[in-house]
Amino acid sequence: MCLVALAWKTHPRWRLVLAGNRDEFHARPTAALAAWPEAPGVLAGRDLQSGGSWMGAGPEGRIAVVTNVRDPGLAAPPGAPSRGALVAGFLGDQAPAASAATQQETQAGRFAPFNLLLADAEDCRYIGNWPAQLQRVVPPGIHGISNGPFDDPWPKTRRLCTALSEWLQGDAEDPAPLWQALANEQLAVDADLPHTGVPLDLERRLSATFIRDARYGTRASTVIAIDHAGHGWIAERRFGPEGRFDGETRLAF
């Protein structure tokens, strides 16, 4: 998952709304959003290469989402486990977000650079391990993460956060405006691009919310909405090479 906008405890109906895109190589095997038979209550897509997930929902309105950090000079520690295990582990567990975040922080150095959000009914926590290990309480409001630091104002992060804010100011029912925002292929102007160490042409292409390419691009768009009673839904749209639409799933919990 490479782009996430989150609204946390800022709406009278929705405790949490999350919208995000997962960008990945199209050749990486992936299972669609579904209930996990071995983990009752977990609703998520699955990375079939490493077994974890990038975003999902769990019992009582738990959510987790992970993004990687983009820097060609950053290397994973030898034998590093999959970052998707951070999502799967939290969703399948019963530990509160606060204590889970503390434990994840102690293990963060084992993983390649990541940003992780964990939330339950009470807390939303951010954990990261680059440039240093960090855990923080996420305050009520609208927040965004891409492949840099938490709330870093990359152009596509700002655009998606603005779209989420506008959606919440309306009837906050029909997710069509959020899907539209997640499908935005606008590139940032060079002056606004982040500097992550990749060539300029690649930095431009990666500045779009939705990345359309034959080899690497947006594989899934996901929207999650959870009310203050812990009820809600998770929906996923899937895409193949060159942005080919491959299906949609929506599950209630």
Instruction: Parse the chain into domains and list their residue ranges.
Output: 3-252
Confidence band for 1, pLDDT divided at 50, 70 and 90: low
pLDDT at 75 over 90: no
Of all residues in the chain, the percent with pLDDT exceeding 70 is 100
Structure tokens at 39: 């983990």
How many C-beta atoms lie closer than 10 Å to residue 139's C-beta? 10
Scan for tokens 């431009």, then name that residue: 204
CB proximity list for 237: less than 8 A, separation 6 or greater? 179, 182, 220, 221, 222, 245, 247, 248
76 and 103 Cβ atoms separated by less than 8 Å: no
- Residue 74 has a pLDDT of 83
Listed in sequence order, the DSSP H helices in 125-211 are 155-169, 176-182, 200-205
- Residue 73 has a pLDDT of 85
CB proximity list for 106: less than 8 A, separation 6 or greater? none
Calculate mean pLDDT across residues 201-229. Answer: 97
Q: For domain 3-252, give the CATH number.
A: 3.60.60.10
Confidence band for 89, pLDDT divided at 50, 70 and 90: very high
pLDDT at 15 over 90: yes
Structure tokens at 112: 């390649």
Q: Beta 216-227 vs 245-252: how paired, if at all?
A: unpaired
Calculate mean pLDDT across residues 13-39. Answer: 97
Of all residues in the chain, the percent with pLDDT exceeding 90 is 94
The candidate with the shortest Cα–Cα distance to 11, out of 166, 162, 174, 132, is: 166
Average pLDDT, rounded, for the chain: 96
First to last CA, the chain: 22
Strands (E), 12-58: 14-25, 30-35, 43-47, 55-58
Calculate mean pLDDT across residues 198-217. Answer: 97
The string of DSSP letters for 99-112 reads HHHHHHHHHGGGSS
| This prediction's pTM | 0.97
In angstroms, what CA-CA distances link 121 with 29, 60, 134, 230? 32, 7, 22, 7
- The per-residue pLDDT for range 107-158, each reduced to its tens digit, is 999 999 999 999 999 999 999 999 889 999 999 999 999 999 999 999 999 9
Report the largest interatomic distance among the alpha carbons of the chain, rounded to a whole angstrom.
49
- The per-residue pLDDT for range 146-190, each reduced to its tens digit, is 999 999 999 999 999 999 999 999 999 999 999 999 999 999 999
Rounded distance, CA 98 to CA 123, Å? 7
